[in-house]
Structure 1
Amino acid sequence: MEGAVSLKSETASSVASTNRTRRLVLLMLGLVSMFNYIDRTVLSILQEPIKRELKLSDTQLGLLTGLAFALFYATLSLPIARLADRLNRRNIVSASLAVWSGMTALSGLATGFATLVAFRVGVALGEAGSVPASHSIIADYYPPDKRVTALGLWGLALPAGIMLGYASGGWIAATLGWRAAFAVIGGAGLLLAPVVMLLVREPVRGAFSTHQHVAEPISLGTALATLWKLRTYRYMLAGTTLHAFAQYAMMSWTAPFYMRVHHMPLSEVAAWLALMNGIGGGAGIYLGGWLSDTVARTSPSGRVWVSAVAMFLMVPAALVQFLVPSLGVSLGFGFLSSMLMFFYYGPIVGVPQSLVAPHMRALTSAVTLLVFNLFGLGLGPAVTGIISDRLAAGYGMHDTSLRYALAAVLIFSLVGALSILRASWFYRFDMREA
């Protein structure tokens, strides 16, 4: 009897310790992800002072915030994810954080477009290794019934990072200049890297899988063919990628939009966008995940189509935000559009992780990042900048060209919503197969 009690006590203690470890790991990976988005966002809020000092065009700014970053970030995420499916993922996350933080700090030394591109490429090289490895670690720390919730909590780093990127970047730039903003934010990330090495433990790969063969290696071609056969994943990826085209355009150009069209100072824009994207985006991620899981109890495909409904609603809200002359109304609808814009985040992370085997999770995230970022992040800001330059040069819209450029790219979210609706038709079948 005493042995049974002792065993029960040890088991409870072990579970509690495991839960504490899980929470610590989730917190640390969330902090890493938060710095990922801080370092991306800071360039967006600093665009206007950088443009003035370095004499850049909107097209060049669009390339900096989009294609120059996304081209390397997306393509390198795939080979690094292959390493993450084989090597120590904790080490990959920590090294990635150190590289991108160092490159962010060096961005303050830029003397022109070419040097700033070089430093942004360095940031992309670092950030390419973080997300797939983090997804894979979390999936091995949390069982399937808690995994989507854990990934949703981890996903809150996105709005938190955006909020801190806008707020800290804007405040430091207004006080000390844009170069100091890069140095301070990059330096903070460098300090976090060794802490990750100390506090995060590498989990057993496939810890919650009931199949022993999952650790066997799989060729890249076989893995990609497996993903292509998953019609839910295929159409979800297409839809969220199209939506990302508009999303990243909005995230990149909203700060210059308010500064040019509504003549807001940098410090005010930074504060408003921090609230808009931090609180609004965080609420969107949480509500998107919660509604998806809630609807899925009675309609399993709801875990997918809730994102499509949110995209359909976002487009008119964003049109009001960019086209209405009233600043107050624009900011109010901007909060709403930011919230709806992030509804898709939980499903696009959680659904694919449930459809594939453990030895494909990092690769699946990398493929998602590759397509999502190459088209969405790579082209969205750049195309919007080109449209803005053309409207300014051809039609004299020097201060208002961004208004119509941003309104034009929203069509991609509408098409993306249709693709996600299509994905929901196949969800039940693909889950049975999984």
Structure 2
Amino acid sequence: MPNDSPADHSRRYVLYAIAVVFLVSVFNVIDRYILSVLAPAIKDDLGLSDTSMGLLLGPSFSVVHFLAVLPAAWLADRYARRTVIALGLFVWSAMTSLGAGAQSFGQLFATRMGVGIGEAAGSPPSVGLLSDTAPASLRTRALSAITVGALFGVASGMVVGGYLGATHGWRIALLAVGLPGLALAFLVRFTLREPPRKKGPSVGPVEATRHLFAFSSFRWAVAGACVSNIAIAGRNLWEPSFLDRSYGLSGAELGGVYVLIGAGPSAIGALVGASLADRLAIRDMRWLVWVCAGAIALGTPFLVAFLLWPADHVVEIAGFMTPVAYAWSAIGSFFLGFFSPPMATFAQSIATPQMRSLAHAIWTMPFTLIGMGLGPLLVGQLSESLTASYAEDSLRYALVATSVLLPIGALGFLFSARDLRADIARAERDECA
């Protein structure tokens, strides 16, 4: 690659940087979510309960990720972001590979903690790097590469993990997604350029947190995202087990179905949401959060319908008998895919150039800790407590129960819109002062 001069940041290079960050995001989420499709096999192999699996799917990752993400973002705002990303990628890929050798709950829990630490250096520095590489007119769409990459990672993890888990076992599946990330780490470090930053005083985590939470629109948006993500993360990480128990799917078939009715539509929704928010925000920046609220409101009824629809209600599509419920899941997933790119843009809009990575970290910290920390564990505990009454359907009703949090979260985005324009204007004045 050419040298790091900002003059070399042609459109071709910008697209290359977006593509590499897309791959980083793919591997970030493959390693994070593959455990969900492997959960039935891991549960049987290690003799675990639903609550124990809930701990592996959520808190084992989210708690240490929460603790590590601010230090990683602080480093990324001071040192070369490509180096921070590469080191994090190397760590989380290595820990995923080590998980293949786990012989107990404790050993697997420890490797998932390592994944959480490594992945703390993935998304925030990537957001900062792309924000300073892509022109403002492309920023939301550039940042959508992180969201779409994440959703593609979920899809890839489901298909690859499902197939390899069924044919070669869950341990080989972990190795297959962990080892390639080690090679990608070198590609990131030695082919990406470090974009120049605007000059200004350095900003620490405490100062950046105070800056962002001084805006009421940001506080309300974070609250809405946290509440919504309890249901979203719980659903995303337990849906493969739901498809296994309620539809009798397993292996590659399970992964393929999940891609078609969950991850795939969500990825399309993220692209549509990013483009829609970019266009509407030109006229009124409040559309950044209105899109989020509207997407959740539209998607929730379809997701609940998917969970409650009879599994034996099928129609013939291209010669295959397909459950009608799959359509409701695809539609609901499409709408819920909308909200992540606009929120990333909103956080960057009120951040100063010296806190790009920190701003994304501060936005995602509570989102990850509360959503991934509570969502999978809450669903697992509810499922276990409902087993005596509902047997195999206990997971179905646990997922329905947590879905009521989605419209509550949408209210947070609506409240955020009240002061959003004034807050962005104030942030711009502060930056110019």
Asked if 2 retains the 8 angstrom alpha-carbon contact of 1:144 and 1:354, the reply is no
Cross-structure match for 2:411: 418
1:138 to 127, 130, 134: 130
Q: Hey, which bits of structure 1, 4+ residues long, moved more than 6 A?
A: none
The 5-angstrom pairing of residues 58-207 of structure 1 reads 58-206=50-198
Deviation at 1:17, TM superposition (A): 5.6
- After TM superposition, list the pairs within 5 Å mapping 1:254-333 onto structure 2: 254-326=239-311, 328-333=323-328
Instruction: State the shift of 1:155 in Å.
Output: 2.3
Contact 2:46–2:105, Cα closer than 8 Å, also in 1: yes
The one-letter code matched in structure 1 to 2:265 is G
CA distance in 2, matches of 1:27, 1:285: 16
| Equivalent residues in 2 for 1:393-432, closer than 5 Å | 393=388, 395=389, 397-432=390-425
1:47 aligns with 2:36: no
Query: Are 1:56 and 2:51 matched, yes or no?
Result: no
Do structure 1's residue 347 and structure 2's residue 342 form an aligned pair? yes
2:382 paired with 1:387 = yes
What residue is the counterpart of 1:3 in the other structure? none
Task: Map Cα deviations across residues 37-62 of structure 1 (whole Å, 9 max, x no partner).
Answer: 11112100000011111111111111
The letter for the 2-side match of 1:294 is: R
| One-letter identity of the residue aligned with 1:21 | Y
The question of whether the paired residues in 2 share the 8 Å contact of 1:237 and 1:348 is answered with: no
Q: Give the aligned residue type for 2:79.
A: L
Deviations 1:367-395 (A, max 9, x none): 112100100011000000000000014x2
What's the TM-score, normalizing by structure 2? 0.92
- Unaligned runs of 5+ residues in structure 1 are 1-13, 207-211
Contiguous gaps of at least 5 residues in structure 2 = 1-5, 313-322, 428-433
Please report how far the alpha carbon of residue 298 of structure 1 lies from its aligned counterpart in structure 2 after TM superposition: 4.1
What is the alpha-carbon distance in structure 2 between the residues aligned to residue 224 and residue 198 of structure 1?
32
Contact residue 130 and residue 143 of structure 2 kept, 8 A: yes
User: Equivalents in 2 of 1:121, 1:104: separation in Å?
Assistant: 10
Check if 1:222 corresponds to 2:207. Answer: yes
Aligned-partner residue type, residue 299 of structure 2: M
Which residue identity is paired with 1:276?
Answer: I
Following TM superposition, by how much is the alpha carbon of 1:221 offset from its aligned partner in structure 2, in angstroms?
A: 2.9
2-side partners of 1:297 and 1:24: how far apart? 26
Any conservation in 1 of the 2:73–2:358 contact (CA below 8 Å)?
Answer: yes
TM normalised by structure 1 equals 0.92
Measure how far apart 1:144 and its partner are.
2.2
Distance 1:279 1:257 in 2: 18
8 Å CA contact retained: 2:59, 2:372? yes
Within 2, Cα distance between the matches of 1:260 and 1:219?
Answer: 48
Whichever residue aligns with residue 426 of structure 2, its letter is E
CA distance, structure 2, for counterparts of residue 61 and residue 359 of structure 1: 40
**Aligned mates of 1:392, 1:312 — CA distance in 2:** 30
Q: Give the greater-gyration-radius structure (CA).
A: 1
Please report how far the alpha carbon of residue 415 of structure 1 lies from its aligned counterpart in structure 2 after TM superposition.
0.8
Q: Residue 264 of structure 1: SS of its match in structure 2?
A: coil
Q: Is contact 2:246–2:311 with CA below 8 Å preserved after alignment?
A: no
Superposed CA RMSD in Å reads 1.6
Q: Within 2, Cα distance between the matches of 1:235 and 1:152?
A: 22
Contact 1:259 1:266 in 2 (8 A): no
Q: Distance in 2 between matches of 1:288 and 1:173?
A: 33
1:19-77 deviation digits (Å, cap 9, x = unpaired)? 22222211111111110011112100000011111111111111111111100012210
Q: Contact conserved, 2:101 with 2:171, CA < 8 A, in 1?
A: yes
Structure 1 residues 21 and 220: CA distance shift in structure 2, 3 A: same
State the AA in 2 paired with 1:353. Q
Structure 1's 298 and 217: CA in aligned 2 closer, same or farther, altered over 3 A?
closer
Deviations 1:4-23 (A, max 9, x none): xxxxxxxxxx9676222222
**CA distance, structure 1, for counterparts of residue 299 and residue 356 of structure 2:** 30
CA distance in 2, matches of 1:357, 1:340: 30
For residue 429 of structure 1, what is the amino acid of its counterpart? A
Please state how far the C-alpha of 1:170 moved relative to its aligned partner.
0.5
Number of residue pairs matched by the alignment: 413
Identity of aligned residues (%): 33
SS in 1 for 2:100: helix
